[in-house]
Amino acid sequence: MDMVASVLAFLAHAGHSVVSCADDLVSWLQTLLYVNAIQPLLFHAGMMDVDEDTYDALYWVIIGVLEVGLMYALLRPLEALAPAEKWRDRKGVGVDALYTWVTRLGILNLLFFFTMQPFFDHAQSTLRLMGVKTVDLDNLWPGVTTEPLVAFAIYLVVLDFCSYWYHRLSHRYGVWWELHAVHHSQRKMSLWCDDRNHLLDVLGQSCMFAVVALVIGVPPAQFVVLVALTNFMQSVQHANIRVHFGWLGERLLVSPRFHRRHHAIGYGHEGTTYGCNFGVLFPWWDMMFGSASFNREIEPTGVRDQLEGVRYGEGFWAQQGYAFARIGRRLRSRAPRAASAARREARDDATVS
């Protein structure tokens, strides 16, 4: 036990040192850019009343830029050297890069987290005054789960479990699926593809992630790292790279091959059980709830009805708009069925009476 505690303490110290150095770098860049570029612009525009908020927001923008830069530097060479699919051109991939910049710089998870934190703090204080215990996951095993690294792992697993069910349910319900279908309509999966989502779906995911994190007591510093790590791993999963983690690795972490099966036409989201491989970071939930498929073939990706001419849009705004159009058609098709069911019910009632 002493050895385990020592190892955990060492890893926690090493992790803290890495995070601290990264934070120092971002803070230095934040001050440099703000003093030399942003603040003069605010002064000349007469907008110094928002200087503090602008300074704080710049921190998250810098994190987003560094994250995208790291993602591109590591994954783009792999896509070029070992592609899962070879394309004649990269037409249609550019719009996904636009999604990535919008999502990563917006940092919606962080926005929700820090906006809602005061409300959760007040709610927890009220519950404590009423004698109601709040969730405190890092104190499950004093001396072990109180270690920052262990607590971080617990938070990661809990958030991934909730993300699995959010993702799986988005395939189960028609209107919700039409929003999520924007993500699946990409026929050329790449490192940019993860962020190709309808804006309403992004808002829903971000809100869920932030609410769960606040409920289980994730500290702000760890939340930032959780968001960055989750985003990066999902970029790896969507990358156009021929990578297999091996029998054990495929069952420990979602790989590009495992997630590609989820995007495969006719398998990943259109089967009799509404698809497979919904895991965001870990395939454990798919294995536990019967939705795992470890097929190793490289399959075409997209949505089946694209082959029949259904439009999902080529550009950013077209994709957003077509989702609403599909939702409208789905709701209109429900109306006659609902009216018919109501007439049958009325006839049955009349017959009984």
250-287 b/e (C-beta count within 10 Å ≥ 16 → b): bbebbbbbbbbbbbbbebbbbeeebbbbbbbbbbbbbe
Q: What is the pLDDT of residue 201?
A: 92
Higher pLDDT, 350 or 56: 56
pLDDT in tens, 278-321: 999 999 999 999 999 998 888 889 998 888 888 898 899 999 99
On whether the CB atoms of residues 192 and 236 are closer than 8 A, the answer is no
Phi, psi for residue 22 in degrees, rounded to 5:
-65, -40
Q: What is the pLDDT of residue 57?
A: 73
pLDDT in tens, 164-215: 999 999 998 888 999 999 999 999 999 999 999 998 998 888 888 888 888 8
| CA-to-CA separations, 100 to 193, 195, 211, 243, in angstroms, rounded | 8, 5, 23, 22
Percent of the chain whose pLDDT exceeds 70? 77
Q: What is the pLDDT of residue 134?
A: 62
Q: What is the mean pLDDT of residues 54-64?
A: 78
pTM for this entry: 0.81
Half-sphere exposure of 318 (CA within 13 A, CB side): 8
Q: Structure tokens of 261?
A: 């099966």
Q: Is the pLDDT of residue 36 over 60?
A: yes
Q: What is the pLDDT of residue 272?
A: 40
Q: What is the mean pLDDT of residues 121-125?
A: 71
Q: What is the mean pLDDT of residues 212-227?
A: 82
Lowest-confidence segment of 97-101, 205-209, 216-220 by average pLDDT = 216-220
